[in-house]
Amino acid sequence: MDENNNDNVVKEPKSSKKAKKITNSILMFGGLLVSLVAVIAIPLALNSNKDIKRDRYLDDGVDLNIQTKKEIKEIVKDKEYDFDFNQEEKDIKNNVFNDDFRILKTSNSFIQKLPIIDHETTPSFNKNDNFKKFYEKWKIQNNGKGRKSVSTTSETIVNSFDFLKFLKDYYKEKNALTEEKISNMLKASHLLDLELIKNNFTYVIEREKQYLYKDLKAKIIAVNIREFIKKCIDGLREFGAKNNINNILNKAIIKQATFSTKMTIDPITHEIKHFTFNSKINISLKNE
């Protein structure tokens, strides 16, 4: 392809006139049911003749400066506490997605109602090969990757990794334990097993009888949730040190641990209006 040929990127329309076409990426779909890997990987491979390399990750902390909100409730004085950690809902669409839509070439149509977003969520575990192996099976039934329609009238949860459900299913399969016994094994120390969560997205719309898509900005491999996990661990340890609670991570129990993203779009143009992380961790501590 000629690098000076600007025929395949589409600018946001300012009127009902035909959208102007600008760059040189074409995404070819081979059939109705295209795998997520194809949807995400093919645009990266055909970005241009310059052979753009995807060689960096976008982190929630150092790159996006997303803050962690912490709330501690004392349930029973000096004995029982509840910790809520929430990611700041900061709009990161301009950091994550390409500015312009590109033309998606296909002779087929989509099964899902457009707009759609394809997503892939991959947790990275610290030195826990058992978790790594189990996740490869677990993700198939738990939306580790997939495609969903995006609402034009309300907020859409794009993807979600439920770490608590993952832990419960892992122990249930490994030991065939009762729910009560499993709940005692869901210690906050398991957050140390979770290094980060990688997220990848491709957003597709239809405009003037053309399919258009946006993927991640050039050079970005994935968007990571890393700092949020670290802040939760640090917050618990700081509380333990301040209140003379030794080994707090092994005493505290995970009650919720979901890592997700959500988005809203313009109902007319289908441009992305907001794209944010929406992650929550709830921890219960009984200091007995």
pLDDT by 10-residue block (mean), the chain, 288 residues = 45 45 38 37 36 81 96 94 97 97 86 94 91 92 90 96 96 78 91 96 94 93 97 98 96 97 97 97 93
C-beta contacts of 156-159 below 8 A and 24+ residues apart = 156/117, 156/262, 156/263, 156/264, 156/265, 157/260, 157/261, 157/262, 157/278, 158/117, 158/119, 158/201, 158/260, 158/261, 158/262, 158/263, 158/275, 159/119, 159/120, 159/121, 159/199, 159/201, 159/260, 159/261
Q: pLDDT at position 52, please?
A: 57
Integer Cα distance of 11 and 99 in angstroms: 8
218 φ/ψ sector (left φ>0, alpha ψ -120 to 50, else beta)? beta
CA proximity to 214, closest of 258, 267, 269, 145: 269
Integer Cα distance of 277 and 59 in angstroms: 12
CA proximity to 134, closest of 161, 160, 162, 173: 173
**This prediction's pTM:** 0.81
Local structure of residue 192 (DSSP, 8 states): G
Q: pLDDT at position 182, please?
A: 86
Q: pLDDT at position 39, please?
A: 40
Q: pLDDT at position 35, please?
A: 39
